[in-house]
Amino acid sequence: MSIKTQKEAYFLYRPCFELNPFEDGVIYFGRDVLLDRLEKYVKLSWRQDKGLKLVLEGSWGFGKTHTLSHIAVNPRFGNLMEGVYVHLYDLSGKESPYEGFFWHILKALLRTGHLRQYSKGVRSDRDQANLLKQTAGLFIYNAIYGLTDPDTGEIAERWLLGERLTRSDARGAGLSEGISDDEARELLACLGRYFWEVNKKMLVLLLDEAHRLQQITEDSSYYHMWSTDFKMLLEPRQRLGVMFAMGDRDRAVTLLEKPEDRSRLGYRWEKIAMFEGPSLAEFLKALIKYVRDGWNIKDRKPNAPSKEVLEFIKSWNAAHTAEPTDIDHYPFTVMAFEKLQNSLKKAAPRDLMKAIDDVAASDESVEREILTQADVDRIVEEVRQLEKSRQPS
């Protein structure tokens, strides 16, 4: 027996209604006010010749990761900054700053090619080479200089990623046996300055899951080192930008929320909320068109509906005059869309997309090839159940 996919049943361009924050980072719906504020902070920092320092706070499924991903590709930001996404992992509180923080950043910068770009700049610009050597030390200089050298590149990368080198490898590449916390911090400072001077843009680390830093407290083994590093990282004149995306947490993130550290961020602390009212309607309508029709990157708008979509709408409306649909609402009927909007009032985007996806994939919905008022009650119930599951017990 052949089973239809959602894509086949509703003539979709995308495979389902759930968005992937990375694959779908080019689009961003229902958050125009937030996007405008973030752009304002970027412009302010650029004009002030300071690295962007900002916190984006919100609960699970509210769109923090998608926001970071979108900022990295939106041309509105691209003229003034370049974002590098960094995923921070769970901490026990026993890690050194290099182990729990700088390692993830250096790995991301190697993945994106920024450190190799810096290596080429250091090799071709004596002033940049001297600045790196004087600021971060001889071993960092040798690592960055050697990163694009066929003979030492692999050793330099292993060293930057914390591997303990044999004496033979270390001596051959002009490196110590292992990178230190201070060396990693100073390398990032030099990289931020280099990127600004060469590209006239800020290099901004987009640090996801930053609430995990709550594990670093004043009782942690390396707290003094962490505190020193973060004070320097948040220093306004530090050219390297940082944007922390923080979810729910059990306690304050000491490194960011003590008064003296919070003051370095100023009012650049934005909260991302559920969709509600007009923003919910805007998100739903935009989601439908994006998933159904795809996206024209050049024109930054959805494609025109397909022939199959137009033919189904015509056929459905001829047979169901009491509950019609149109190109703004299909694969919902107009009444189903309005009922969903009015019944929910507000919702987290992840919960809403997952609920629509699950109901749209059910046997009866797939067979009908459209979502009607009868489906909305199930969508609303699943959204509410998902919301409850995110609450602490």
Per-residue pLDDT of the chain (393 residues; tens, 9 = 90+): 578 999 999 999 999 999 999 999 999 988 999 999 999 999 999 999 999 999 999 998 999 999 999 999 999 999 999 999 999 999 999 999 999 999 999 999 999 999 999 999 999 999 999 999 999 999 999 999 999 999 999 999 999 999 999 999 999 999 999 999 999 999 999 999 999 999 999 999 999 999 999 999 999 999 999 999 999 999 888 899 999 999 988 888 999 988 877 777 777 899 998 888 888 999 999 999 999 999 998 888 899 999 999 999 999 999 999 999 999 999 999 999 999 999 988 899 999 999 999 999 999 999 999 999 999 999 999 999 988 877 655
d(CA 101, CA 155): 21
Pairing of strands 202-208, 241-246: parallel
Asked: is 49-271 a CATH 3.40.50 domain? The reply is: yes
Measure the CA dihedral 113/115/119/124, to 10°: 70
d(CA 121, CA 104): 23
d(CA 358, CA 365): 10
Question: Which two tokens mark 150?
Answer: 């066929």
**Bond into 331 cis (ω within 30):** yes
User: What residues contact residue 50 under an 8 Å CB cut-off, 6+ apart?
Assistant: 236, 237, 239
Pairing of strands 53-57, 81-87: unpaired
- CA–centroid distance for 277 within its chain: 25
pTM score of the predicted model: 0.93
d(CA 322, CA 55): 49
Residues of the chain with CATH 3.40.50: 49-271
